[in-house]
Structure 1
Amino acid sequence: MSTIFDLKIQVQPQHIDILGHVNNVMYIQWMQDVAAAHIEMLGLGLTQYLELKHAMVAVEHHVQYRKAALEGDEIILRTWLDDINALYSFRQYAFYRPKDQSVLFVGNTKWACIEIATGRPKRMSPSFTQAYQPISNELDPMDFSISYAEK
Structure 2
Amino acid sequence: MSTIFDMKITVQPEHIDVLGHVNNVVYMSWMQDVATAHIEALGLGLKQYLELKHAMVAVEHHVQYRKAAMESDEIILRTWLNDINALYSYRQYVFYRPKDKAILFAGNTQWACVEIATGRPKRMSPTFTQAYQPLSNTENPMDFSVYDA
TM-score bracket relative to the smaller structure: over 0.9
Code of the residue aligned with 1:20 in structure 2: it is G
Aligned to 2:134: 134
For 1:11 and 1:4, the matched residues in 2 are separated by 22
Q: CA deviation at 1:38?
A: 0.1
For 2:131 and 2:27, the matched residues in 1 are separated by 25
1:28-56 Cα distance to aligned partner (Å, 9 max, x none)? 00000000000000000000000000000
CA RMSD of aligned residues (A): 0.6
For 1:37 and 1:64, the matched residues in 2 are separated by 22
Query: Aligned residues: percent identity?
Result: 81
For 1:2 and 1:145, the matched residues in 2 are separated by 20
Code of the residue aligned with 1:37 in structure 2: it is A
Q: CA deviation at 1:9?
A: 0.1
1:26 aligns with 2:46: no
* TM-score when normalising by structure 2: 0.98
Q: CA deviation at 1:87?
A: 0.0
Q: CA deviation at 1:13?
A: 0.1
Runs of 4+ in 1 over 6 A off after TM superposition: none
For 2:60 and 2:100, the matched residues in 1 are separated by 30
In structure 2, the residue corresponding to 1:99 is in which secondary structure?
Answer: helix
Code of the residue aligned with 2:101 in structure 1: it is Q
1:88-143 Cα distance to aligned partner (Å, 9 max, x none)? 00000000000000000000000000000000000000000000000100000000
Could you tell me which runs of 5 or more consecutive residues in structure 2 were left unpaired when the two chains were aligned: none
Aligned to 1:76: 76
For 2:134 and 2:144, the matched residues in 1 are separated by 19
For 2:54 and 2:145, the matched residues in 1 are separated by 37
* TM-score when normalising by structure 1: 0.97
